[in-house]
């Protein structure tokens, strides 16, 4: 119970919106329930000795309660819905703000399907609690208990019979729900795994089919779905039995009421009116209590969903200063930089020291897994190093606002990200205010113009989700056009090698040469031919710089660079 209240409190705290509408709505829902039961008590009081003259007052009173019930029901529902949505709007905004400020590296590690599931399904679960369940639960708990207090005044013995099993019912529900919770957690976990797998399966279907692995993946998916089935059964068993036992205890109180009434009637101690009141009111007080079990299990869903979202909210965001700092120039400097990925025993990069002057070309080469991409990603703040500092124009990148950093750097990475929009909009991402003529100019420079003109609607052609309708080489060139349009002084480049044919490679190379002109270029080079003219070549191995210099001296040195050159060029 404590956890449930804590979960609710956390959501309200995170949403950071005072939502008087919601509280007003919840209050009205309670009043509505009270108005539905109050007429029985009013009638009871009148029957105790009311006169024909006071019948008019009774009628007016009953009509008043009916009207109040209608009004409370309408405004209670309206306000709890609107208030709940208001609150969840604030909660969603905080969540999205947080996700937007997560380091890009952390986002890459998350399974996109799981993240999507959390941000949609979990938030929806919490929303339903505030818009529907909370009002019902509050009314179901408070109104019966309140009227039971009045019943004590009418006949304490009958009330005791009605109340006596309730504590036991709540204790049972609470205890058994521990098992239910564990089963629900297992079910949710396997559900999230399946969602993640499913997204990966669909996104990678082309590759899986080409490698004839689609069947094997189907097998993995089927296995995951069987897990869900198994865990769902556990939830039904524990959830079902907890709820049945609870309901049994609540129902037993009706039997006890009957027994006590029988004993009292036999002893001549039960006035007819009192029995009438209890007989009419008891089911109305117990029915909502029966529903409490279902509401509580929904609330537990909230606690779990909030727990999962809290894990997301606890992920540290990229720290940025409030004010932009003054950056002097565009030289890049790595000072004793070391990086270790979370939960990895080995350092991915160790004690890197180098600098690149404005307009220079720095190439990073080395065997696979040496740390080349990690180095580039550090400059883009996908991650922050655990040791050392990275300076741009004499300022630590951690002291720069992200828009300053990303304003100074363009990125052309292997995994080009395109959006389900027109070609024009995708290139304009580099500079939203660019005119069509400017976009066409950079596309010409990047060698995209010809293939764009061949598309059915030219620059207005939608390119599908992540540019599915384009080839690998075309996607690369679009991302180069985007970087050209952005016109930032520093260019970070992860050379594309995969998925493009030699002609496309040649065209990409030409586009890149245009893009690199006059800019500081830091590139990860997989093909050593492209780095022959670099001002500095860093040779990385196991996270360390093992050689540095220009092409010819490095070759003459006969070290790792020479070895890699031999392997590639022969
Ligand atoms: P390269 O680009 O030279 O192939 P990377 O920079 O991709 O090398 O990887 C360097 C090392 O860091 C590798 O051992 C790799 O497994 C590890 N690594 C890279 N990215 C991550 C990550 N996001 N989480 C954990 N380890 C990673």
For position 25, what pLDDT does the model report? 93
The tokens for 219 are 């097998």
Q: How far is the CA of 374 from the centre of ligand 1 (A)?
A: 6
E-assigned strands of 305-404? 332-339, 349-356, 361-365, 387-392, 395-396
Judge if the beta carbon of residue 338 lies within 6 A of ligand 1: no
Listed as ranges, residues in the chain with pLDDT below 70 are 1, 3, 107-113, 239, 465-467, 496-505, 507, 570
Q: How far is the CA of 340 from the centre of ligand 1 (A)?
A: 10
The tokens for 426 are 């995708």
Q: How far is the CA of 196 from the centre of ligand 1 (A)?
A: 22
Compute how many other C-beta atoms are within 10 angstroms of the C-beta atom of residue 508: 24
Q: Which of 371, 495, 528 to mutate to test the pocket of ligand 1 (most atoms within 8 A of CB)?
A: 371
Q: Which of 348, 365, 386 to mutate to test the pocket of ligand 1 (most atoms within 8 A of CB)?
A: 348
List the domain boundaries for the chain: 2-313, 332-569
The model's pTM is 0.65
Angle subtended at Cα 394 by Cα 389 and Cα 400, rounded to the nearest 5 degrees: 70
For position 496, what pLDDT does the model report? 63
Burial class (CB in 10 A: 0-12, 13-18, 19+), 546: middle
Q: How far is the CA of 345 from the centre of ligand 1 (A)?
A: 12
Judge if the beta carbon of residue 414 lies within 6 A of ligand 1: no
CA atoms within 13 A on the CB side of 163: 15
Judge if the beta carbon of residue 350 lies within 6 A of ligand 1: no
Q: How far is the CA of 398 from the centre of ligand 1 (A)?
A: 22
For position 498, what pLDDT does the model report? 52
- Measured by CA distance, the residue closest to atom 17 of ligand 1 is 348
The maximal CA–CA distance of the chain, rounded, in angstroms, is 118
Judge if the beta carbon of residue 395 lies within 6 A of ligand 1: no
Indicate which atom in ligand 1 lies nearest the CA of residue 524. Answer: 2
Indicate which atom in ligand 1 lies nearest the CA of residue 543. Answer: 10
Q: How far is the CA of 369 from the centre of ligand 1 (A)?
A: 6
Q: How far is the CA of 348 from the centre of ligand 1 (A)?
A: 7
Indicate which atom in ligand 1 lies nearest the CA of residue 371. Answer: 6
Alpha carbon distance 384, 377 (integer Å): 9
What CATH class has 332-569?
alpha beta
Which residues does 141 contact at the CB level (< 8 Å), separation at least 6?
288, 289, 292
Which fold would CATH assign to domain 2-313? ABC transporter transmembrane region fold (1.20.1560)
E-assigned strands of 405-511? 409-412, 490-494
For position 198, what pLDDT does the model report? 83
Indicate which atom in ligand 1 lies nearest the CA of residue 366. Answer: 3
For position 41, what pLDDT does the model report? 92
For position 109, what pLDDT does the model report? 59
Judge if the beta carbon of residue 383 lies within 6 A of ligand 1: no
* Four-residue CA torsion sign, 467, 473, 476, 478: negative
The DSSP H or E segment spanning 541 is: strand 536-541
Q: How far is the CA of 363 from the centre of ligand 1 (A)?
A: 18
């Amino acid at each position: 119970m404590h956890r449930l209240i804590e979960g609710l409190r956390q959501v309200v705290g995170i949403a950071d919106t005072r939502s008087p509408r919601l509280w007003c709505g919840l209050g009205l829902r309670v009043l509505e329930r009270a108005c539905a039961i109050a007429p029985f008590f009013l009638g009871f009081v009148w029957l105790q000795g009311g006169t024909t003259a006071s019948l008019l007052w009774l009628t007016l009173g009953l009509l008043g309660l009916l009207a109040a019930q209608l009004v409370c029901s309408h405004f209670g529902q309206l306000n709890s819905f609107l208030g709940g949505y208001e609150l969840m709007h604030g909660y969603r905004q905080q969540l999205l703000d947080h996700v937007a400020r997560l380091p890009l590296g952390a986002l890459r590690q998350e399974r996109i399907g799981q993240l999507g599931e959390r941000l949609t399904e979990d938030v929806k679960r919490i929303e339903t609690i505030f818009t529907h369940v909370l009002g019902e639960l509050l009314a179901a708990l408070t109104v019966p208990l309140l009227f039971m207090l009045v019943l004590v005044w009418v006949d304490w013995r009958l009330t005791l019979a009605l109340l006596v099993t309730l504590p036991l019912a709540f204790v049972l529900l609470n205890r058994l729900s521990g098992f239910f919770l564990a089963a629900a957690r297992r079910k949710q976990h396997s559900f999230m795994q399946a969602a993640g797998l499913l997204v990966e399966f669909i996104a990678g279907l082309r590759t899986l089919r080409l490698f004839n692995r689609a069947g094997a993946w189907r097998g993995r998916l089927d296995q995951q779905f069987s897990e869900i089935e198994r865990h769902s059964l556990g939830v039904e068993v524990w959830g079902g039995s907890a709820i049945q036992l609870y309901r049994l205890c609540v129902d037993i109180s009706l039997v006890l009421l009957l027994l006590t009434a029988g004993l009292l009637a036999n002893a001549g101690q039960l006035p007819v009116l009192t029995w009438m009141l209890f007989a009419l009111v008891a089911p109305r007080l117990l029915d909502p209590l029966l529903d409490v079990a279902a509401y509580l299990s929904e609330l537990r869903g909230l606690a779990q969903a909030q727990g999962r979202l809290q894990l997301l909210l606890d992920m540290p965001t990229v720290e940025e200063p409030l004010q932009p700092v003054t950056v002097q120039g565009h030289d890049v400097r790595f000072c004793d930089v070391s990086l270790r990925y979370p939960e990895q025993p080995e350092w991915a990069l160790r004690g890197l020291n180098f600098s690149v002057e404005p307009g220079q070309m720095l190439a990073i080469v080395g065997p696979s897994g040496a740390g080349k991409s990690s180095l580039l990603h550090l400059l883009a703040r996908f991650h922050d190093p655990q040791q050392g500092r990275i300076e741009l124009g004499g300022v630590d990148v951690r002291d720069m606002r992200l828009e300053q950093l990303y304003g100074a750097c363009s990125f052309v990475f292997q995994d080009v990200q395109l959006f389900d929009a027109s070609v024009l909009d995708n290139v304009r991402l580099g500079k939203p205010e660019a005119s069509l003529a400017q976009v066409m100019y950079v596309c010409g420079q990047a060698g995209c113009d010809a293939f764009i003109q061949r598309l059915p609607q030219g620059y207005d052609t939608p390119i599908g989700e992540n540019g599915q309708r384009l080839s690998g080489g075309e996607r690369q060139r679009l991302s180069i056009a985007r970087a050209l349009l952005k016109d930032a002084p520093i260019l970070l480049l992860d050379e594309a090698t995969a998925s493009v044919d030699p002609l496309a490679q040649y065209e990409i190379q030409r586009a890149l040469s245009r893009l690199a002109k006059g800019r500081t270029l830091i590139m990860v080079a997989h093909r050593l031919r492209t780095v022959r003219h670099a001002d500095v070549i860093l040779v990385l191995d196991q996270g360390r710089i093992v050689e540095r210099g220009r092409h010819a001296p490095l070759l003459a040195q006969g070290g790792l660079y020479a070895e890699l050159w031999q392997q590639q060029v022969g």
